[in-house]
Amino acid sequence: MYFLTGWPRRLLCPLKSEEQPFHVQPSSQRFYFAVLSETQLSVWFSRPSVLIVSYIESAKASSQFGFYQQAEWKQDDSMIAVAAANGYILLFDVVGGGEDKYLYEPVYSKRGVKVTPGYKEEQCAPALSLEMKRPMDLEAPITSMLSLQEDLLVSTADGYLHILHWDGISNGRKAISLCSVPFSLDLQSARGGLCLDLKGVYIRDMTYCVTLDGFAVVLNDGRLGFITPLANRITQLQGVWAADVTDGTCVAVNNKYRLVTFGCASGSVLVYSIDTTTGSMQLSHKLELSPKHYPDVWNKTGAVKLIRWSPDYSVAMVTWECGGLSLWSVFGAHLICTLGEDFAYRSDGSKKDPINISSMSWGAEGYHLWVITSREETELVENMEEAPAQTQQAGILQFHFIKSALTVNPCTSNQEQVLLHGEDRLYLTCGDPAHPSSNSTSQGLSTLLGYKHWHVVQIHSTYLESNWPIRFAAIDTAGQCIAVAGRRGFAHYSMSTRKWKLFGNITQEQNMTVTGGLVWWKGFVVVACYNFIDRQEELRLYLRSSNLDNTFSSITKLHSETLLLNVFRDMIILFRADCSICLYSMERRHDGPNPSASVELLQEVSMSRYIPHPALVVSVTLTSVRTETGITLKAPQQACMADSIILNLAGQLIMLQRDRSGPQLQEKVPNKTVNYLPFCPPVVLAQYVENVWTTCQAGMKVYLPSVFTTSIVWLPLFPRDHRKPHSFLSRRIMLPFHINIYPLAVLFEDALVLGASNETVLYDSLQVERSIILLYNKSTCLEQLPPDNTANETGRESLEGLFPYCTVERTSQIYLHHILRQLLVRNLGEQALLLAQSCAALPYFPHVMELMVHVVLEEEATSREPIPDPLLPTVAKFITEFPLFLQTIVHCARKTEFALWNYLFAAVGNPKDLFEECLMAQDLDTAASYLIILQNMEVPAVSRQHATLLFNTALEQGKWDLCRHMIRFLKAIGSGEMETPPPTPTTQEPSSTGGFDLFRNRSISLSQSADSIAAGKFNLTKTFSMPSGPSAKGYDSDCAENMYIDMMLRRHARHLLEHVRLKELGCFSAQLGFELIGWLCHERTRVARVDDFVMALKCLHKDFLWPFPVIPAGSISSPFKNGHRRTVLSQHLLKSQSADSLLNMDTAPPQAVARNSNHTWLDRLGALGPTEMDTALSHGGPQTQEAFLSPLTNKTEECSIGSATDLTETSSMVDGDWTMVDDNFSTLSLTHSELEHISRELANKGPHKSQVQLRYLLHVFMEAGCLEWCVVIGLILRETTVIKQVVNFLDSPEVPPETVQSVRSGLLGVDAWASTDCLGYKPFLNMIRPQLQKLIETSVEQIQPEAFLPGASNSKLAEPQPAGPSAEDSRGPVLLGLALPLEPPGGLGTEDGGVPEEQEEQAVDEGAYDCTLS
């Protein structure tokens, strides 16, 4: 189809003249254009668009003949007839200047450019001259002229038709009175009869239709008629007239579709066809602007002034008396209109005056539209020039178009790509050329839809210069190869190499011209051409990979001119000028160095009985589709690959299928006899067809017929499971549906149509600024600027201000929901279900279902008349067959007006029931959408009840985003803000890392002052920053809704803790801002108790993906030998971090301890060489880095717990610290056995993220006083310091005896479980045996609480206090707080850094050891 592009071009005439042109008339080939002014006849060339010759009438002759009015070319372009105002016909001979005389020649910038033979005839503008012959006086004003083959038909105002010979011989003149022509409604004598009164009536406008062999006329009284000659004699005429039309203004004919278009004074265009039986004029359709799209101008355009069909008869351009242009397809699809949008309004909103057109004409192949504006419009455009208006001829504008390859080469209609071509470039939608698709026939959505830009290919300039204009273009199935054919020869382009291939021998290129189009087949270009040397029609196949030369081609002689060709699998079909169809088989052979192709004639079918004129065939297609007539095959092997031939005959879709009921026929071809099945008589499938797309897989067709872009699909209705079909059910069905774009390609498997549309961009404001700057620069002072803001007017009136810049955009549209709806309307639900199930895998299938519901709902709910059989319940029942039923309904409802909800849910069901179905299906997001529906349709109590159900379910499933929204929703209901949605929470979304994200809301600063250290107390400062989201306001409010929400949150936390789901508890607290420590303080003696330590330990291992510790088989030969425990690092490092050192830490500042640790660490690092370090890293893996980094975090004075995650994942501090450690690592020396020990220890640890989460939970439980959970987490982390601190806490009198007994029995139970089921815990349990003995023995020396616990901690353990920084500054074990960011190693036994001899011997015997590298 045609699309406007860019800005129009203005053509300037170099001759000085005061007259403005008002009429343009193209020659038959449209290479020359005759332009008329009042006394001047000019001939312009098409490419380049330059003036060739101009004839100026003398003043004396002008007074005699009168001003020029219109012109007409002879068919061979050798003469021009000009009608003058005083009734004279002036004939001009167009005389060439000879072979060596050219007005314009190309000048090449480089020397040595290869000049092709005959380049002057192709590339140069010829020098012509005009010689006037003897004028002919018709003695009456001339109203219309029409050029025939050898005659010139002229109508005059006295009611006569004059038939003149082009040679101007007087005795050849004949005149026919209009009154003598009988007019009737049809050609049947019974209904005939003369018009009542034809006196004083004359023909205002007329044109000749070749395929109808008649003249379409518009009479001066507005009546429309069609005149045909009798017995092929132009002197005997008979006419038919259209009833009830009296406002005709102009006429144009479409020879390809046999249509006659009349413009009317009302602004509408009436399109008539001629009935072949009665000869009457039948109204086909109307071309008129719709009030929906053009409410301001649809009835204010004035009368239709001009109608011009494109050279390929696929579009018509219309203009009105009030101005404007409008482009329509053959059967009424509206493509472009300049009376609206950016064409009619400026960027500031002011309205433009539409362009008034006095004459227009299409250029060669429809790439240009030559437009001559009216005198007033010309003066407006010329105001931008500094030169006086009388010296310029600026009234000629050229509009540029690009068009679809389907308009002239319909064989590409079986492709899945959109191919447009302009006069010098191609536009493709074959996806990203940098990533060519696979060999599959369908490129799919990723390339055809995901890549939104056009791929523009510039046609090779060498080929274009000598062969302009481009007539045919084709693309292969994969979208990787393109071929174009111009005036002579052809060329092809590869998308992969981005190179053109041209004929190496230019003579071969110039000796052929493509006549029937070209198409790709298996790497070959199939061309139907005419050979000028042999004067022979040929079918040629050229291999793409070889040089473009006749040597590498397969040539088949043809008997008649080929008009159309197409390819189906390995068959090629040709339609010839003698109205016959030829079928050929093609075979690709590999019998040489290069592949070759052989062509063999299969069958010839004569269609002369059914086709009145060969030019009426728009397209020809082979297909495997056939109608199911129920005739059984006598021989199943008779079935052929190509079952049917489909012809588009002037808009009628005709099918010829093979006759399988009779015997095979035989046809003798050279050297063999071929058996084939004959074809049945043709059957008309559809009318008003423009394009056809077929598919082999489903046997489905889509046509683009009819008015306003209506499409039809021809769908098979085969029974499923090979069941016997119903006798009353047709095998195929026609389903019409409406689409909003003009389809250029159809993706059957994706249920999509691809197309293109015109878009506009305004640049008028930029042009105003540019014009002001230019005018200011040309002035010497400000006083010389044009007055009255002339600069703004000048800029506005330029072409950039009058017209927007036009672009072409790729578009697509889904059509599956239209087909499903039409099937449901016809009670074909089973077929609709089968079709939908086959497309259910499409990514936009849910959108298809929503569209179907939405369209039906809008039509039925807004209908003013009652609908006897509504379709919405049927559609709702149909959608229930798919799992996305609930989502489809709620998404459609939320995109629909609230007023239509009652009608929707009356058909699909109660929203409360649908909400409960979503909960049962665990589809919480959809249930939340239904909650919004319930909020608007039900009372607040119902919404609160369902919101509570959804909130509890979301909590259980860990849908934290949904939980936050539900909290906000419940608060809005409680505060009466149901109509106003609550503000969106400002908290960040949860990260995708799966961590707690606790440190986003809580920052725990470990900063110690010298004063507090001197006082023997450590300040563990915690700053709580509650999120500004769902619970930011709730805790300070006493409203019932907040209390209700808090109750549900506490209940869920209790549920999680009861089921030992600590990881979910941490996420729950972090995501919803739940104050975990304060709640745990209240639940310390209730749900926060641990009943089964072994079960809790197993659950933690499972939830945090923490491996159970194992003892290797060779642990006896571990580094612990001869009764001594050799540590990997120095004894000083272990002593500095031993239990004794941590217990006595109150006597020294923690900064000093950190320095000692660092110093000892780095002291020992010097003993390792680089080779041993590499070995250590290879055995330790990624966790080695984490272990060495931890002690270095104390370089900073303040450190938050959150930095443990940041340092290992995102912080740049890691690299700096690691570099420092690496520099001092060269002195470490580790033996192989020690490295094995380290690797085993690291293997017994879980993910680092889990370690961070566990340590944080340990911190929370310790501050809340939940000592049992501290023991469990200390066991899984294998931290002796934790167990020591808990045991010391248990000595406090404020600790309940039940807690002491629970810890004692829990540790004993773990020891018994480890002895039988998990021996890996035995070494650690042996290390904490002194603490276990301390719990069992009652007469153990009490350690002073001041050594490890702040003074206020006792009261805190006894009585929980509200959370907050002030209440928690002095709460919690300092030793644990310091250990958390440092990831402390497990301390060793006794206060002096060693263990008792008995315990050491027992540990060695049991093979137990522990050496944690932190």
Query: Can you spell out the DSSP letters for 1126-1190?
Result: --SS-HHHHHHTSHHHHHTGGGS-HHHHHHHHHHHHHHHHTTB-HHHHHHHHHHHTHHHHHHHHG
Q: Average pLDDT in the 1194-1217 region?
A: 33
Lowest mean pLDDT of 49-53, 749-753, 834-838, 1394-1398, name the range.
1394-1398
Q: Average pLDDT in the 190-197 region?
A: 52
Task: Indicate if the pLDDT at residue 624 is higher than 60.
Answer: yes
- Residues 1227-1273 have pLDDT tens digits of 455 677 777 777 777 777 888 999 999 999 999 999 999 989 999 99
Given pLDDT bands bounded at 50, 70 and 90, which one contains residue 120?
low
- Residues 578-605 have pLDDT tens digits of 999 999 999 998 887 888 999 999 989 9
Lowest mean pLDDT of 26-30, 509-513, 777-781, name the range.
777-781
- Residue 1075 φ/ψ, nearest 5 degrees: -75, 95
Task: Indicate if the pLDDT at residue 661 is higher than 90.
Answer: no
Higher pLDDT among residues 1334 and 888, named by residue: 888
CA distance 247 to 331: 22
Higher pLDDT among residues 523 and 1400, named by residue: 523
Task: Specify the pLDDT at position 766.
Answer: 54
Task: Indicate if the pLDDT at residue 1181 is higher than 90.
Answer: no
The residue among 1009, 1003, 1002 whose CA lies nearest residue 1197 is 1009
Residue type, 1368: E
Given pLDDT bands bounded at 50, 70 and 90, which one contains residue 329?
very high
pLDDT exceeding 70 applies to what percent of the chain?
Answer: 69
- Residues 373-400 have pLDDT tens digits of 886 555 554 554 444 444 444 578 999 9
Task: Indicate if the pLDDT at residue 762 is higher than 80.
Answer: yes
- Outline where DSSP puts E strands in 151-294: 151-156, 160-165, 174-177, 183-184, 203-209, 214-219, 224-230, 233-241, 248-254, 259-264, 269-274, 281-287
Task: Indicate if the pLDDT at residue 613 is higher than 80.
Answer: yes
Given pLDDT bands bounded at 50, 70 and 90, which one contains residue 119?
low
- Outline where DSSP puts E strands in 677-762: 683-686, 689-694, 701-705, 710-716, 732-738, 743-747, 752-761
Task: Specify the pLDDT at position 363.
Answer: 95
Task: Indicate if the pLDDT at residue 115 is higher than 60.
Answer: no
CA distance 949 to 916: 9
Residue type, 660: R
Across 682-686, 975-979, 1222-1226, which has the greatest mean pLDDT?
A: 682-686
- Residues 1394-1409 have pLDDT tens digits of 433 334 333 334 333 3
Higher pLDDT among residues 749 and 696, named by residue: 749
Handedness of CA 620, 624, 630, 633 (dihedral sign): positive
Task: Indicate if the pLDDT at residue 1119 is higher than 60.
Answer: no
Task: Specify the pLDDT at position 467.
Answer: 92
Lowest mean pLDDT of 129-143, 901-915, 1132-1146, name the range.
1132-1146
- Residues 768-813 have pLDDT tens digits of 444 444 433 443 333 333 333 333 433 335 777 788 999 999 998 8
Given pLDDT bands bounded at 50, 70 and 90, which one contains residue 326?
very high
CA distance 709 to 711: 6
CA distance 815 to 844: 12
Lowest mean pLDDT of 229-238, 427-436, 698-707, 1024-1033, name the range.
1024-1033
Task: Specify the pLDDT at position 550.
Answer: 92
Task: Indicate if the pLDDT at residue 1293 is higher than 60.
Answer: yes
Lowest mean pLDDT of 691-700, 821-830, 885-894, name the range.
691-700
- Residues 1071-1115 have pLDDT tens digits of 998 999 999 998 888 888 898 999 999 999 999 999 998 876 554
| Distance (Å) of CA 1124 to CA 996, 1118, 1121, 1134, 1326 | 42, 11, 6, 15, 16
Task: Indicate if the pLDDT at residue 1001 is higher than 50.
Answer: no
Per-chain mean pLDDT for the chain: 75
CA distance 847 to 1291: 67
Higher pLDDT among residues 71 and 626, named by residue: 71
Q: Average pLDDT in the 965-985 region?
A: 65
pLDDT exceeding 90 applies to what percent of the chain?
Answer: 41
Query: Can you spell out the DSSP letters for 968-997?
Result: HHHHHHHTT-SSSPPPPP-SPPPPTT----
Element (H, E) at 1353: helix 1353-1358
